Amino acid sequence: MSEEVPPTPSRRIVSSRHLAEGDGWEASELEYGMIIAYNAFTRWMSRCMAAAGNGELTPLEILVLHNANHRGREKRLTDICFLLNIEDTHTVNYALRKLVKAELLSAEKRGKEVFYRTSPAGAELCEAYRAIRQACFLDGLPRTDISGEELRKIAAQLRAMSGQYDQASRAAASL
C-alpha cells in the first residue's frame, strides 16, 4: 500500500517569484509568511502599547521593555540582546537609554556593567499591555482552531528555523 502524495499547488504564495524556482521553493512561501507575520506583529505591538497608554514606543523598545520586565530580574544589555537574538547592540542600547529617559526602566551601574530593571511605571505599562493583549488577541485565539499544543509546536519550529537562518547568515558572511 503506497501513501498518496498530495499534488504540488499550482499557485505559490511568495513575495519574490525569482526566489521560488527550483528545489526548495517552499522556503519562499515560509519567508513570505514570516514577512507578513513580522509586519502584523510589529503593528500589533505598537497598537497594543498605544492602547495600554504609550503610543511613542517603537516595536524594538516594546520588546526590550517586556524583556527587561521578564521574571522581574535585572538584565544587562548583553542579556537582552542574547535573549532577543539581536546582533546590533547599539540599537538595543539606544532603546534602553530611551526607556530609562521615559522612566519605564531604571539603570544601575556596577563596575563596567549597567543593569536594567523595570520601574514601577514600566511594570504598570507592561501589565496594561497584558490586559489589552488578553482582550484583543488571546480572547479571539480559540476561533483559529489552533490548540495551545499546536502553538507550542509552531513556536519550536520557528526557533529551529531561526537557527537555520543564523547558520546561513554565518556562512554568507564568510563568502
Q: What is the pLDDT of residues 76-126, one digit of tens each?
A: 999 999 999 999 999 999 999 999 999 999 999 999 999 999 999 999 999
The model's pTM is: 0.88
**Dihedral of the alpha carbons of 48, 62, 71, 86, in degrees to the nearest 10:** 140
pLDDT tens by residue, 118-152: 999 999 999 999 999 999 999 999 999 999 999 99
